[in-house]
Amino acid sequence: MRLVFALFLSVAGLVYAAPPATAPIDSPTKRPVVALVLEGGGALGLAHIGVLKVFEEAGIPVDIVVGTSMGSIVGGLYASGYTGSEIETEVYAINWNELFSEKGPSQDESWLDRHERYRYALSFGFDRSGFSLFRGLLSGRKVLSLMDILLLNQSDVEDFDKLPRRYRAVAADIQTGLPVVISRGRLADAMRASMSIPGAFSPYVLEGRTLVDGGIVCNLPISVARSLGADVVIAVHLADKEPKDNWEKRTALELLSRTLDIFIAQGVNRELPLADYVLTVDIHGYTALDFSLDREIVARGEEAARSSYEELARLAQGLAREERPAREVLAPIEGVVVLGGAPAIAPGSGAALKAVLGALHRSHGLGSSSPRWIGLGSTAISGST
C-alpha cells in the first residue's frame, strides 16, 4: 500500500459443520485452528512467498489465510492450494513491465488493432453509465486475467470457506470509508478489489460497492482472522527497520508518501497486539514499486523466516502436522466454448492449457477487450466478455 502516493499521490455466510461422532468438539486431540495474516505493501508483499516456503518446511499448518493488497494476492494463491515454491515459480515467470502496461503485447495484436490504437491519445471506457476515462493509471485488466489463469482450478468455488484453506481479502469501500471483508464470489475478483491502489489502479466494483485497496483501512487484518474463530494467529509484518532521515530535504512526493505510511502504520500497530506470533520482515532498501527485484524481496522474506526457524519449529511442535492433498493438476483441454466471440481454438484439439488461454487472449485482444471471465467446466474452458 506504500505504492499509493509513489504512483499518483502516490460476511461471510455462517457455515456450520457438525463434528464427527468419534471426535467431540472438546476432544483434547483436536488441533488448534491456525490463521495466517499477510500485510499489504506492493512489491514488498512478495516477501510473503519466502516466508511461506519456510513455514511449510517447519511444518506449520495453516487453516485460514487473511490478507490485504499484495498480501491478499499471495494469500489467495496459498489458500487455493498453491505451495510457497509454486507461487515463487509463477511470480518469477511474470513480465512485470507488460503486466503493468495497458498496451497489449505486439506479438498478440493484429496489425489493424495496433494501427487503430496508435491513432488515439486517450482511451475511453463505456458501460451502462455511459462514457468514462479510466479512474486510475491502470485498469487492472491484465492482473485480473492473470489471476483468472492461476486460479482456474478454483473457478467454480464461490464460498471462500470451501477453498483448501479458508480465505478472506480486505478492501475498502470508497464511499463509506469502511473496510470490506470479502468472503465469497470469484477469488480473482476478491484479490483484484483488495489491490485497487487509489491513483494506480481503477477502483473495482463488486456487488454494487466501489472498492479500493484495503491498506487504507486495515493493512494487516489480524482482527479479521480473530473473528473467524482462529485459535492461533500468525502475522507477517513488513517493516523498514532503518527508515530514511533528513526529511527536510525530501521531495514533496516523498513527504506525501511518508505521510500515508504513517497513517497506515498506526492501523497496523493497533492490530499487532491481537496476534499470537508476529514475524517481522525487514524490507529496508526496497520500495513498493520494486517488482523487478522480485527475487531479492522473496529472498528477504525467506531470510527473515529462517533467522527465526528454531522458534517456528517449536511453534510447529505445538500444532499437529497436517498433510494436505496436492493441488489438482488440470487434465489436457479437449474443447473450448467462447461466449460472446468466435472460438479461439478448435474443439477436440487436446491443446495445453496455456496455449488455449493464450489463444483466447489473442482472439479477444488482451490490451483492449480481454475476456472478463475465464472458468473451468467439466469438459471445456469458457470465456465471456
Tens digit of pLDDT for each residue in 321-377? Answer: 655 656 666 565 555 565 555 454 554 444 455 556 655 555 544 444 444 455 555
Exposed/middle/buried for residue 185 (C-beta within 10 Å: 0-12, 13-18, 19+): middle
pLDDT of the residue at 354: 57
pLDDT of the residue at 30: 79
Q: What mean pLDDT do residues 6-23 have?
A: 32
Cell of 303: 531470510
Three-state secondary-structure class, residue 88: helix
Could you tell me which of 137, 134, 138 has the C-alpha nearest to residue 146? 138
On the question of pLDDT at 227 being above 90, the answer is yes
CA pair distance 220, 270, nearest whole angstrom: 9
Phi, psi of 352 (to 5 degrees): -70, 155
Cell 485482444, located at residue: 365
pTM for the full predicted model: 0.76
Q: What mean pLDDT do residues 267-290 have?
A: 94
Three-state secondary-structure class, residue 240: coil
Whole-number Cα distances in Å, 93 to 89, 146, 150: 7, 11, 12
On the question of pLDDT at 206 being above 70, the answer is yes
Are the beta carbons of 169 and 176 closer than 8 angstroms? Answer: no
CA pair distance 55, 309, nearest whole angstrom: 9
C-alpha angle 126-129-135 in degrees, rounded to nearest 5:
65
Which residues belong to the active site?
A: 69, 213
pLDDT of the residue at 263: 83
pLDDT of the residue at 196: 85
CA pair distance 114, 202, nearest whole angstrom: 24
Q: What mean pLDDT do residues 89-105 have?
A: 84
How far the first Cα of the chain sits from its last, in Å, is 30
> Mean pLDDT score of the chain, rounded to an integer?
77
CA pair distance 150, 329, nearest whole angstrom: 12
Q: How many CB atoms lie within 10 A of CB 42?
A: 26
pLDDT of the residue at 252: 72
> Under 8 Å CB-to-CB from 205, ≥6 apart: which residues?
211
Q: What mean pLDDT do residues 27-50 have?
A: 88
